[in-house]
Structure 1
Amino acid sequence: MGTMQLESVPEPKYLHLKTVLSEALDQDFAVGEILPNERELAARFGVARATLRQALEQLELEGRLQRRRGVGTTVAPPRVGVDVGGAQHSWPGESVDGWEPVDAAEEAVLSPALLKLLGTAPGEMVLAVRRSRVENGQVLAAELLYVPASSVPGLSAIDAPAGPARARAVMRELQKLVLDGQDRSVELGSARPEDAKELDRLPGAPVLLVTTRYFTVAGTAAVSVATYRADTCRLTFGDSGDVQITHDARVAS
């Protein structure tokens, strides 16, 4: 990458720099290659480091770059397709969908928004099942599945040991109910420390939060909050209205 100065342009300087950097990534760098540090890049392009950071953040959101702990900023590899639509009348865990149970424990503190979504009162017992979505040995998403004890009578009788066995036991009890349907929403968020560690991201990195509410005729039976890496995901919506995440190489946001 040669030294160059950015000329005055009508668009914000960081967007023009993003375009220049994107062209350089195509021509001068290989997948997985580590970029020079911010000070060196800012000097080469004659911009402030704040402008450079804005451009790098945009490229990260578009899936061109990855920021990794202890490594730095690298050129992102091609993406792998992931479907998160799911069958409208299928409980989580009923089909082979790449999710692996990790643990289940009583959630002591829930946000007001989650309590409202679950239809539970503060202090009511809610079990949280943690699962990871793994494909080709790579963790693609981290999920917390919240299950109120009041909606699944068999939860209080579970005596399975902590870990995957307990998580599977909670899901088996949930699947004994008759699923009436589900709804789903997607929003951009920031990675919490525990999710960031599991996804090999930095805390606060942009992520996609896919929230799914499972309900029976009696009301909400469970709520899933799945965290996907925003820098590797492009959302598409099929004819059925299901949400899909497709990982394409070099797809603009």
Structure 2
Amino acid sequence: MGTTQLETVPEPKYWHLKTVLSEALDSEFAVGEILPNERELAARFGVARATLRQALEQLELEGRLQRRRGVGTTVAPPRVGVAVADPGPAWPGADGTADTWQPVDGGEAIPPAAVAELLNVAPDRPVHVVRRTRMSRSQPLAAELLYVPAESLPGLSSIDAPTGAARARVILRELQRLELESRDQAVELGSARADDARELDRLPGAPVLVVTTRYRAQGRTAAVAVATYRADTCRLTFGDTGGGVRLLAG
């Protein structure tokens, strides 16, 4: 990987450095290979480490690099699109869907303020929560928290619900007893929080895609799911299949 004169280019230094690094990834590095540390790269290109970090973060956002705890920055494999969203409206965990999420835990918790507003519940009122994970090629792809107010599952209190993953399955089963009227989704770019980073094997602050899904039944919002996807393995496509946005992952 050679040096380059960055001072004479009109575009931002980090952007030009990103282009140079991208070309080097194609010609000099193999998939999975660990890049030199930041100090070596910054010295080689004659830039500040802050500039280098901006370039690396952009390449990570584009799926060219992966940063892992205890490993370092490695060259990411090519992304191969695989649909991860259900083709039509369905409750999470419904039989006969393309749902490959695995329930991890279930219980009660106070939802984030934004979720409480979507559910139209008091900010300090606990709701049922299901935690699920999604794996791809033995690697964590996404983590999801599903929030369900008590009003949506009036019969759950009379059920001797177990704990952990078994309780999560009970909540999902009871939710499917409702007639789903509609489902809408919103996607935004975010940064991995500590909990997300731990579950997704990422560094805190790594780019993620946050998909918020609102499920409506009985004329109101019956549940809200907040799924956090690794941005380095996911891409979005827009189709005319009637499903709107489809989330693809590699």
TM-score, normalised to structure 2's length?
Answer: 0.93
Deviation at 1:246, TM superposition (A): 2.6
Q: Are 1:20 and 2:20 an aligned pair?
A: yes
Which deviations, in whole Å up to 9, do the C-alpha atoms of 1:51-107 show, x marking residues without a partner?
Answer: 111111110000000010011110001224332432443111012421100010101
Code of the residue aligned with 2:108 in structure 1: it is E
Deviation at 1:29, TM superposition (A): 0.3
Question: Is 1:62–1:232's contact at 8 Å kept on the other side of the alignment?
Answer: no
CA distance in 2, matches of 1:231, 1:242: 22
Which deviations, in whole Å up to 9, do the C-alpha atoms of 1:157-185 show, x marking residues without a partner?
Answer: 23232121110000000000111011100
Which residue in 2 is equivalent to 1:237? 238
Code of the residue aligned with 1:70 in structure 2: it is G
Structure 1 consecutive aligned stretches of length 4 or more whose deviation exceeds 6 Å: none
Which residue in 2 is equivalent to 1:141? 142
Which deviations, in whole Å up to 9, do the C-alpha atoms of 1:102-125 show, x marking residues without a partner?
Answer: 010101x32221111011123433
Report the secondary structure of 1:30's partner residue. coil
Question: Is 2:209–2:228's contact at 8 Å kept on the other side of the alignment?
Answer: yes
Question: Is 2:119–2:224's contact at 8 Å kept on the other side of the alignment?
Answer: yes
Which residue in 2 is equivalent to 1:47? 47
Name structure 2 gaps, 5 residues minimum.
none
CA distance in 1, matches of 2:124, 2:56: 43
Which residue in 2 is equivalent to 1:73? 73
Which residue in 2 is equivalent to 1:129? 130
- Paired residue total: 247
Query: Map of 1:1-253 to 2, 5 A cutoff?
Result: 1-94=1-94, 95-107=97-109, 109-239=110-240, 240-247=242-249
Report the secondary structure of 2:168's partner residue. helix
Which deviations, in whole Å up to 9, do the C-alpha atoms of 1:136-174 show, x marking residues without a partner?
Answer: 322210000001111221221232321211100000000
Moved more, 62-71 or 86-95: 86-95
CA distance in 2, matches of 1:117, 1:168: 23
Code of the residue aligned with 1:165 in structure 2: it is A
Name structure 1 gaps, 5 residues minimum.
249-253
Question: Is 1:64–1:75's contact at 8 Å kept on the other side of the alignment?
Answer: yes
CA distance in 2, matches of 1:89, 1:171: 15
CA distance in 1, matches of 2:122, 2:83: 33
Code of the residue aligned with 1:151 in structure 2: it is S
Code of the residue aligned with 2:57 in structure 1: it is E
TM-score, normalised to structure 1's length?
Answer: 0.92
CA distance in 2, matches of 1:7, 1:28: 24
CA distance in 1, matches of 2:155, 2:224: 17
CA distance in 1, matches of 2:52, 2:137: 34
CA distance in 1, matches of 2:159, 2:239: 38
CA distance in 1, matches of 2:80, 2:199: 18
Which residue in 2 is equivalent to 1:251? none
Deviation at 1:241, TM superposition (A): 4.3
CA distance in 2, matches of 1:11, 1:110: 43
